[in-house]
Amino acid sequence: MPLSKMSFSRSIKAIFASFSPYWLACVPLSALIVIFWNTAATAQGLEPPANLDELRIVLDSIFLLLCSVLVIFMNAGFGMLEAGFCRQKNAVNILAKNLIVFAIATLAYWAVGYALMYGEGNAFMGTSGFFFSGDAAAYGDDPYPAAVPPAISFLFQVAFAATAATIVSGAVAERIEFAAFLIFSTLLVAISYAITGHWVWDGGWLSEMGFSDFAGSTVVHSVGGWAALVGAAILGPRIGRYEDGRVNAIPGHNMGFATLGCLILWIGWFGFNPGSELAATANVPYIAVTTNLAAAAGGVAATFTSWLKDGKPDLSMIINGILAGLVGITAGCADVSYLSAVIIGLIAGIIVVYSVAFFDSIKIDDPVGATSVHLVCGIWGTLAVGIFGTGNLLTQIIGILAIGAFTVIFSAIVWSLIKATIGIRVHTEQEIRGLDISEHGMEAYSGFLKEADVLAAGSSMANTDSELSGSLR
């Protein structure tokens, strides 16, 4: 029987309370000890680039740094998007998750993930370079200026790893325990994402087969999407979401945040896709243009698809259509023509509208549509390399299935273990009250009156267009 959230929280407090504050005195002490053996690589005092090769490598490094910044900025995009699509009573929780997950991903990938993904190893996984040390962090076989500094490869990959984890947070929003999400994210980034990434991007077995996924429709987006799908399925839907065979709309609370998030993600993708060239080349602009065309086509397709399907242009579908186009072009952005990019985006934008309806029809509750955007369009994008690009369609399918199977099994095991130990879902009364108060003890919008306040007061003075159903606010 899982520990309840309250008792878990109390346990943590009790454990730590048993230490006196003087344990903090250990910190500087530990620090002093550490610095004696802490003589690893630091910045190398290199001279300014002295020849063409050195200058080229420095340009590659600066380019990848700026791409990394754009990808890291996607954390703000996901944070705004997911918070905007959820209810205000859970906004602090989703913001906290999206913020801390990049910190945790950074440390988990630094300690373990980078070694499993890019360390020396075998066709299945890397086995060296933990804590970004040794050969992985030093200039190795290809010393500067023959190759970019390892630090920039590491930073770019950290940013990617965090993306996979962030995708999960949207699908499990509004009912997952905070600690459960932190633990799952850590393990996903450190182990599962790293291993399947190694298969494709560090000479692993899928790479050997010719599987083509330039910037990660499968390696990043589908992996995040599969983990999200398994999480959402094991968690079950939010209270009140599916009743009497109906799907109750639970509208997001801040469409300004959601739209801002979409536009931040759009520009973040100009780091994600062009940066995956891993060097400043004359191909980079080409990749940026296919990326932009697919995003635009996805947005337009989803707008008109939802307009004709429901009679009104739905802003959340415009947003998800743009993201669908971006996920769809991620695998093939360097490998398809401009026209193909538009077609890939158009199809992704249509798919995402119907995919959202499909998951609701099987009662998988994904508050932000992350599974439709990242998993379904990630699969579509990977297939598209076999249709419009130079990839082999059969190999693409094998890659999708292999990575999907590994991620699903890994996720199912980890989510189940978490459920069986500390618990995965908040209590009913916590969910109704909202995670902000119950898990974090604070409100996202202090000082504002909410409809729930009025309901709680038993007053029916509000007369809004939407029906006031207590459990859905």
Task: State in angstroms the smallest separation of the CB of 449 from a copy of itself.
Answer: 4
Output the CA angle 188-193-196, nearest 5 degrees. Answer: 140
Round the CA-based radius of gyration of the chain to a whole number and report it: 23
Among 194, 230, 297, 400, binds a copy of itself (CB under 8 A): 297
Stretch that binds a copy of itself, among 34-42, 121-129, 165-173, 391-399 (CB under 8 A): 34-42
Q: Does 17 bind a copy of itself (CB under 8 A)?
A: yes
Q: Which of residues 317-346 bind a copy of itself (CB under 8 A)?
A: 318-319, 322, 334-340, 342-343, 346
- Kind plus residue range of the DSSP H or E element containing 408: helix 393-420
Among 2, 3, 4, 100, binds a copy of itself (CB under 8 A): 100
Among candidate residues 431, 415, 407, the one with its CA nearest the CA of residue 2: 415
Task: State in angstroms the smallest separation of the CB of 412 from a copy of itself.
Answer: 26
d(CA 31, CA 27): 6
Among 1, 20, 29, 43, binds a copy of itself (CB under 8 A): 43
Q: Does 466 bind a copy of itself (CB under 8 A)?
A: yes
Q: Does 29 bind a copy of itself (CB under 8 A)?
A: no
d(CA 422, CA 55): 53
d(CA 326, CA 297): 9
Among 270, 272, 359, 410, binds a copy of itself (CB under 8 A): 270
DSSP-assigned beta bridge partners for residue 121: 126
What x/- string results for residues 188 through 227 when contact with a copy of itself is judged by CB under 8 A? ----------------------------------------
Question: Which CB sits closer to a copy of itself, 204 or 389?
Answer: 389
Stretch that binds a copy of itself, among 35-43, 235-243, 407-415, 418-426 (CB under 8 A): 35-43
Question: Which CB sits closer to a copy of itself, 173 or 229?
Answer: 173
Question: Which CB sits closer to a copy of itself, 119 or 410?
Answer: 119
Q: Does 362 bind a copy of itself (CB under 8 A)?
A: no
Q: What are phi and psi of 210, to 5 degrees?
A: 100, 10
Q: Does 241 bind a copy of itself (CB under 8 A)?
A: no
d(CA 35, CA 421): 37
One-letter identity of residue 468: L
Q: Which of residues 108-147 bind a copy of itself (CB under 8 A)?
A: 110, 131-133, 137, 144-145
SS3 per residue for 47-102: CCCCCHHHHHHHHHHHHHHHHHHHHHHHHHHHHHHHHHHCCHHHHHHHHHHHHHHH
Task: State in angstroms the smallest separation of the CB of 260 from a copy of itself.
Answer: 6
Q: Which of residues 402-441 bind a copy of itself (CB under 8 A)?
A: 437, 439-441
Q: Does 20 bind a copy of itself (CB under 8 A)?
A: no
Output the CA angle 303-308-313, nearest 5 degrees. Answer: 40
d(CA 403, CA 2): 30
Neighbouring CB atoms inside 10 A of 10's CB total: 13
Stretch that binds a copy of itself, among 64-72, 166-174, 216-224, 234-242 (CB under 8 A): 64-72
Task: State in angstroms the smallest separation of the CB of 134 from a copy of itself.
Answer: 12
Among 25, 462, 469, 470, binds a copy of itself (CB under 8 A): 462
In this structure, are residues 137 and 40 in contact, taking their beta carbons and an 8 Å threshold?
yes
Among 247, 255, 397, 398, binds a copy of itself (CB under 8 A): 255
| CA-to-CA dists, residue 262 to 53, 75, 239, 268, angstroms | 38, 11, 27, 10
Among 22, 45, 245, 246, binds a copy of itself (CB under 8 A): 45
Stretch that binds a copy of itself, among 68-76, 225-233, 359-367, 402-410 (CB under 8 A): 68-76
Q: Would you give the DSSP letter of residue 460?
A: -
